[in-house]
Amino acid sequence: MSGISVQSLVVSLVIVAAGCLGAYLLFRAIQWLSRRADRGRYQIDGMLLRIFGPPISVLVGFGSVTYALYRLPQVREQFSQWDGAQRALFVLTGTWILASLVKNLIREYGLPLASRTDTDVDERVVRLLDLTAIYVIWIGGVLIALRELGIEVTAFLASLGIAGLAVALAAKTILSNVLAGVTLTADRNFRVGDRIEVGDYIGDVLAINLHKTVIRTRSNEIVMIPNDVLGTEIIVNHMLPEHKTRIELTIGVAYGTNLDRATSLLHDILRGTDRILQTPAPEVNVASLGDHAVVLQVLLWIDAPRGKRAVRDDVYRRALSRFAEAGIDIPFPQRVVRITEGAGPVDAP
């Protein structure tokens, strides 16, 4: 590209510098205006400025660079040697601007709107839409640019379709997990923070990702369960329909015990524990007449499913102490061994 005069080159460089500086100043000005608009009555103004600001700034900078280059005859001659190069460059630039515009539009409008819902399924769908839209726009822009350069894209599209089918077949399990994850996220009966029971695992849900659900067990272990497994398993949610949950205890007392007295002592114990709710009221019933004891069933409610063992331990300890003070025996199984002449020992209950 010899033959370019120093004056023309300097003027072009000045145009490029001025255009880039103007684009930067325009971008900063739009940012300042958007912050001012956010504090105003209509926040939509700030949102629109943030959406359209970056693409407009890039367009100003690109326009200045394009004008500075094409005002030089030697540069125009170089581009004329590549048929469609100018159009391909414009297509790629327009693709970048359009992708930025769509990305800003989804993030500024879609994500805040999705965050107002009860579940995070809308946010995941918006992020997936954001990623998909960007890829689709860029693929379309590249294909159009290749066509402008005279490159045949039909074979490329056929190869892309075959590759997409192969990837879909190979990623069948991943896609199944993703679809199950979207379904679980949309289900109001299954939320982050709930205590659930799945198979042999009981724990708190830490996260519902696109392909797996993470729970923390009562042993402080992290268990990652594929979403398609959760889609076919029976899930017990200990937090629904409400946090309070029931505990069932059994206490045996000796035959001949004053059951009314034992029941009264148990009710006193249940009223003296903070975690135990009085509405619904605790119940003490005769569950069965065992071989060695009258089995009392204690039904009580606590405010949350966590801490059942601590409540159970406290009630049993208090019952042992109070029954011992009241002289109420808690019997244990006994065997009587009878030895008869000419025969071995015989066990009798």
pLDDT (tens place) for every residue of the chain, 349 residues total: 455 667 777 777 888 788 788 878 877 887 777 777 666 555 556 666 666 777 777 777 777 877 777 777 766 666 666 666 767 777 877 787 788 777 777 776 766 666 666 555 556 666 667 777 777 888 888 888 877 777 766 666 666 666 666 655 555 566 666 667 666 766 677 778 888 888 888 888 888 776 788 888 888 888 888 877 777 778 888 877 777 888 899 999 999 889 999 999 999 988 877 788 888 888 999 988 988 889 999 999 988 888 888 889 999 999 999 999 888 888 877 666 777 765 555 555 5
The tokens 């107002």 sit on which residue?
Answer: 116
Domains and CATH numbers, the chain: 6-170 (no CATH), 188-237 (2.30.30.60), 245-326 (3.30.70.100)
pLDDT of residue 27: 77
Q: How many Cβ atoms sit within 10 Å of the Cβ of residue 92?
A: 16
- Asked if 265 contacts 322 with a C-beta cutoff of 8 angstroms, the reply is yes
This model's pTM is above 0.75: no
> Cα angle vertex 337, ends 331, 343, to 5°?
165
Give backbone dihedrals phi and psi of 205, rounded to 5 degrees, phi first: -75, 120
Q: What are the structure tokens assigned to 267, written together?
A: 């009710």
- Asked if 149 contacts 129 with a C-beta cutoff of 8 angstroms, the reply is no
pLDDT of residue 278: 86
Q: Where are the beta strands (DSSP E) in the chain?
A: 195-198, 201-208, 212-217, 222-226, 235-237, 245-253, 283-289, 294-302, 336-339, 345-348
Q: What are the strands of the beta sheet with 222-226, ordered from one edge? A: 222-226, 212-217, 201-208, 195-198, 235-237
pLDDT of residue 61: 77
